[in-house]
Amino acid sequence: MALMEKSRERRTQKLFVVEGIRETAACIRNGYTIRSIFFNNEVQEPAQIENLFPANYGASSPTLFSLGPNAYSKIAYREGTEGIVAVVEEKRLTLGEVKFGKKWEHPLVLVVESVEKPGNLGALLRTADACGIDAVLVCDPLTDLYNPNLIRSSLGGIFTNQVVACSNEEALEWLRANNINIFTAQLQDSEWYYDTNMSTPTAIVMGTESTGLTDFWRQASNAKIKIPMLGELDSLNVSVSAAILCYEAVRQRCL
């Protein structure tokens, strides 16, 4: 419960909590070590759990804890998770460990600056997975990457993507060192996103909904891009905007 509720506890122990079969399986497939699994003994049995996750658990097999429904309900964060809660060892990817070529010949990177809401970041990670994004750089993060809300909203996308938490300065230096063009999403002094060549090495940079991008990224960009807004409002949800721009990059690369 402490790991669920307190980011400080997660950082101190270097552990986090995952609920559900799909999310736990995504951890295992992507090289995370499962420390322990708590299961509702009215829903699951030890043999069933072992069959659910036939892949290697990591350095060693996890410890299984059988809980009655009342005890399990105290640690379950949400309903409908198939009666499984796992404690997992965290992994912190660095920029130097990022590998290209996940899907595309030329790198495609998503950069998000100071996104506050775990739900928004989780939705961004789902888009990144769907679009074959090589890496997601979370610059100056305001939310814990292993926040239970983020894991839930990403449907395991935090595990399937290469996600790096870093500063703006570190991200810019890395992008320039890898000759990746920087396209900033903003309304001011911008061209239509579909008129921008995203088939080259590309980084799409998104800011917050409330304040947009900082001057740091505006000044660093190779091109500024915008999405048509035909109504009275002047902004979209950041995850929706990112999905539009990322799929334009996919469209151009699939032509």
pLDDT at 199: 96
User: Residue 24, CB half-sphere, CA atoms under 13 Å: how many?
Assistant: 28
| Contact between 238 and 120 (Cβ < 8 Å) | yes
Let me know: does 183 contact 190? Beta carbons within 8 Å. Answer: no
Q: What pLDDT does residue 10 have?
A: 94
The pLDDT of residue 45 is: 86
Check residue 240 and give its pLDDT.
Answer: 94
pLDDT in tens, 131-158: 999 999 999 888 889 998 899 899 899 9
- Strand-pairing partners, residue 63, are 36
pLDDT at 190: 87
What pLDDT was estimated at residue 242?
95
Q: pLDDT (tens digit, 9 = 90+) per residue, 85-97?
A: 999 999 999 999 9
- Please name each of the domains of the chain with its CATH number: 2-89 (3.30.1330.30), 95-254 (3.40.1280.10)
According to DSSP, the β-strands at 223-226 and 191-192 are: parallel
Of 105, 91, 113, nearest to 162 by C-alpha is: 91
- For residue 156, is it left (φ>0), alpha (ψ between -120 and 50) or beta? left
Mean pLDDT of the chain: 90
Q: What is the pLDDT along the chain (255 residues), one digit of tens a residue?
A: 899 889 999 999 999 999 988 888 899 889 899 999 999 999 888 888 877 776 666 656 889 999 999 999 888 876 666 899 999 999 999 999 999 998 999 999 999 998 888 899 999 999 999 999 999 999 988 888 999 889 989 989 999 999 999 999 999 999 999 999 999 998 778 899 999 999 999 999 998 877 778 899 999 999 999 999 899 887 788 999 999 999 999 999 997
pTM of the model: 0.91
